[in-house]
A and B are shown apart, each in its own frame.
Chain A
Amino acid sequence: MTEVRAEMVANVWKVVAAAGDTVADGDTLVILESMKMEIPVLAEGGGTVARLAVAEGDVIQEGDLIAVIE
């Protein structure tokens, strides 16, 4: 089980993956936006998205949980 966490304070711009999706290594889970830059958050290692912890428009802090991949 992998927990995908935010590396910085950012806005959640787009949620691309959904709970239950099968993802491969490098697939985009969500796209964050910080200071006018888009930052894709990618799956590291393949698996199933067990949980998608954020919604579009959320402001997340460094360390916040974004997704859980099993």
Chain B
Amino acid sequence: MLASVLVANRGEIALRVIRTARRMGIRAIAVYSEADADLPFVRAADDSVLLGPAAPARSYLDVAAVLAAARQAGAQAVHPGYGFLAENAAFAASVIEAGLTWVGPPPSAIEQMGDKINARNLMERVGLPVSAGSRQAVPDVAAALVEAERIGYPVMIKAAAGGGGIGMSAAADPEQLKAGFETARSRAERFFGSPAILLEQFLTAARHVEVQILGLADGSVVTLGERDCSVQRRHQKVAEETPSPGVGPQLRSRMLAAAIRAGEAVGYRGAGTVEFLVDEAAQQFVFLEMNTRLQVEHPVTELVTGIDLVEQQFRIADGGDASFDPATTSSSGHAVELRVYAEDPRRFLPSPGTIGDWTEPAGPGVRVDAGYAAGNTVTPFYDPLLAKLCVHGADRAQALERARAAVAAFVITGLKTNLPFHAELLASSEFVSGAYDTSIVDRMRAS
């Protein structure tokens, strides 16, 4: 097994990866910015290296600094977490060139799926259903208007180099498209380094359902079930669950098969996720994008399967077998994840600040992946995720009941959090019924 790993990330995911590494006897090296020096992930590592000031460009995104830290600390491998450099094919290639083990898929897979236009075209070629959308980048507003006429309104304007729902906007008519196009381009440039834009048919009343895949060392691709991620604000996930209440057995079977084809098409290795949009009434699905990394919401899959996905990542990266027999995996019960964000629960505006009290819930089925502790400062430089509150139950009703108690017991003071929003979600008849889609939060806030 690998002797050591540098975790090129921060907050809750760095802590979570470090925990599994140490459990497996792998020496864990943390890297951190000046703003994160007191966070739990730094203390939990065996060694830690300061990268630079808070700004991501000068710390977590600074490839030279991260590679220097790996050399300095004698790291044998690099685990990128999610976000930051996780889907940066050039970074993955540099890690490999430096003679280190990259805990992730081949750079070619990252590159192919990193361009959303290319990804859609490739998936369509291997027989996956895709929604109507751009086959090449849309260069300007004039071209966008023509493209939108072809696709049909409403359309979603997306960054081709983007992901995670960032910088997306919808246009219901040519006026909205004109208004949104330039903003989308500048956001795309700012957040993803490329102004390339694609348009996609906006499927209203869709569910966002993704499939966890593992590309094994022998070249085969297996699936570990799906996750429903339809609870979103600003097109970013706030809560996820597995299994999806909107997916019947027949549809599930087709989606899992499609996810395997997607993984095989890019020679996938390691943990990845294929995202789809589902029309629940028709029990049909279309390919959305493929994330060539571990997802934020991976814990719900771990809770129902009993499999540690980070452990599988390390095993596969080391050329070894998974810890389980893919032919006999099973899923037990139901799991929900609630993302606890540093933001106000009504309008979801960011709330940086210094944490006073931090008391986590505990109890049967409760798992908290925390990024912060009492006394830590939450700064504006990074995303607002404070912790992931994950809950397992024998069935969905029990999972939700346990989640309600856990939300009520989670105390974080000193800044605003969306815990009251989660309490609202768990009381919402739409969510409790299971029959919800990606507009659920809009409807919760419309009244």
A residues sitting closer than 8 Å to B (CB atoms) are 8-11, 33-37, 39, 59
Give the interface centre of A8, A35, A37 by most chain B CB atoms within 10 Å: A35
Give the interface centre of A34, A36, A59 by most chain B CB atoms within 10 Å: A36
B residues sitting closer than 8 Å to A (CB atoms) are 166, 191, 234, 342-343, 349-353, 379-384
Report which of A9, A33, A36 forms a contact with B166, defined as CB distance below 8 A.
A36
Report which of B166, B191, B234, B380 forms a contact with A34, defined as CB distance below 8 A.
B380
| Docked-complex contact A35 and B353, CB < 8 angstroms | no
By a CB distance below 8 angstroms, the chain A residues around B382 are: 35-36
- Total A-B residue contacts, Cβ distance less than 8 Å: 39
CB distance from A36 to the nearest CB of B (A): 5
How distant is the Cα of A10 from the Cα of B342 in the complex, in angstroms? 13
Report which of B353, B380, B383 forms a contact with A11, defined as CB distance below 8 A.
B380
Q: A11-B380, A11-B381 are in contact. Are A35 and B234 (CB under 8 A)?
A: no
By a CB distance below 8 angstroms, the chain A residues around B380 are: 8-11, 33-35, 59
How distant is the Cα of A11 from the Cα of B383 in the complex, in angstroms? 13
| Docked-complex contact B352 and A37, CB < 8 angstroms | no
| Docked-complex contact A35 and B166, CB < 8 angstroms | no
Report which of A9, A11, A37, A59 forms a contact with B349, defined as CB distance below 8 A.
A37
How distant is the Cα of A11 from the Cα of B191 in the complex, in angstroms? 15
| Docked-complex contact B352 and A8, CB < 8 angstroms | yes
| Docked-complex contact B234 and A37, CB < 8 angstroms | yes
CB distance from B104 to the nearest CB of A (A): 22
Q: A36-B166, A37-B350 are in contact. Are A9 and B383 (CB under 8 A)?
A: no
Give the interface centre of B350, B351, B381, B384 by most chain A CB atoms within 10 Å: B350
By a CB distance below 8 angstroms, the chain B residues around A33 are: 380
Q: Chain A residue with minimal CB distance to B351? A: A8
How distant is the Cα of A34 from the Cα of B341 in the complex, in angstroms? 13
Q: 13 extra interchain contacts, Cβ-Cβ under 8 A, other than A34-B380, A36-B383? A: A8-B350, A8-B351, A9-B352, A9-B353, A10-B380, A33-B380, A34-B350, A35-B350, A35-B383, A36-B166, A36-B384, A37-B349, A37-B384
CB distance from A54 to the nearest CB of B (A): 14
By a CB distance below 8 angstroms, the chain A residues around B352 are: 8-10, 34-35
Between-chain CB contacts (< 8 Å), 11 pairs: A8-B349, A8-B352, A10-B352, A11-B381, A33-B380, A34-B352, A35-B343, A35-B352, A35-B380, A35-B384, A36-B384
